[in-house]
């Protein structure tokens, strides 16, 4: 299901998507957005808290298709949570990365986690999402987790090569 109530919410999501490389777009066609709805009220049944103690009904997150009642990848966004980010696009891109990851059958990377946030996740899902956002940051500006592509290059070049190949090169 898609649940976007207000134009400004729609515009925020559209603008975040608009900045992404064109080859990301097919991955977004199967993704639904729900913004400022309690997951329990719209038929989802997440655990109460994330692994680090945040409430799922207040924390932006991406639900894998098999956990969604309609079997669609669903990104939950919450305005109050988005406000905590320096750049609201960061969290939207992060959640979209999880949606892409599912469509790649949770491509099993052994990329090096760089920031504290992704180091807590032993499955590599957060490393995938954080690496995607770093890949979008070409200069020394830091994303909301303290990363950028320069840092990525220093620690582990493989995610950059992976996303370049997946999303930047033309199909031959
Ligand atoms: Zn994440």
Over residues 91-102, the mean pLDDT reads 98
Ligand 1 centroid to Cα of residue 130, in Å, is 7
| Bridge partners of residue 33, in order along the sequence | 75
| Token pair of 38 as six digits | 């309690």
From ligand 1's centre to the CA of 5, what distance in Å?
Answer: 24
Which whole-number Å values give the CA distances from 103 to 1, 28, 73, 82, 118, in the listed order?
A: 18, 10, 9, 24, 20
Q: Where are the domains of the chain?
A: 7-168
Q: Which fold has domain 7-168?
A: Collagenase (Catalytic Domain) (3.40.390)
Cβ atoms of 90 and 144 closer than 8 Å = yes
> Count of residues for the chain?
172
For ligand 1, the distance from its centroid to the CA atom of residue 105, given in whole angstroms, is: 16
What is the model's pTM?
0.94
- From CA 133, how far away is CA 58, in angstroms rounded? 22
- Using the mean position of ligand 1's atoms as its centre, give its distance from the Cα of residue 94 in Å: 6
- pLDDT tens digits along 59-72: 999 999 999 999 99
Ligand 1 centroid from CA 110, angstroms: 16
* Percent of the chain predicted with pLDDT > 90: 85
DSSP string over 37-101: --GGGGT----SB-TTS-BTTTS-EEE-GGGSTTS-EEEEE-HHHHTTSSSHHHHHHHHHHHHHH
Confidence grade of residue 172 (pLDDT, cut at 50, 70, 90): low
- Expressed in angstroms and rounded, the spacing between residue 120 Cα and the centre of ligand 1 is 11
């Amino acid at each position: 299901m898609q649940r976007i109530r207000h134009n400004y919410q729609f515009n925020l999501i559209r603008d975040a998507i608009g900045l992404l490389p064109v080859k990301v777009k097919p991955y977004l066609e199967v993704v639904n957005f729900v913004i400022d709805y309690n997951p329990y009220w719209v038929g989802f049944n997440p655990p109460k808290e994330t692994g680090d103690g945040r409430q799922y009904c207040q924390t932006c997150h991406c639900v894998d298709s098999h956990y969604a009642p309609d079997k669609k990848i669903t990104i939950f966004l919450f305005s109050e949570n988005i406000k905590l980010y320096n750049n609201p696009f960061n969290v939207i891109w992060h959640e979209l990365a999880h949606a892409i990851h599912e469509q790649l059958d949770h491509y099993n990377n052994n990329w090096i986690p760089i920031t504290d946030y992704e180091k807590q996740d032993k499955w590599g899902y957060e490393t995938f999402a954080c690496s995607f956002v770093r890949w979008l940051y070409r200069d020394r500006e830091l994303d909301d987790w303290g990363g950028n592509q320069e840092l990525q290059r220093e620690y582990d070049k493989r995610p950059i090569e992976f996303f370049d190949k997946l999303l930047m090169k033309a199909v031959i």
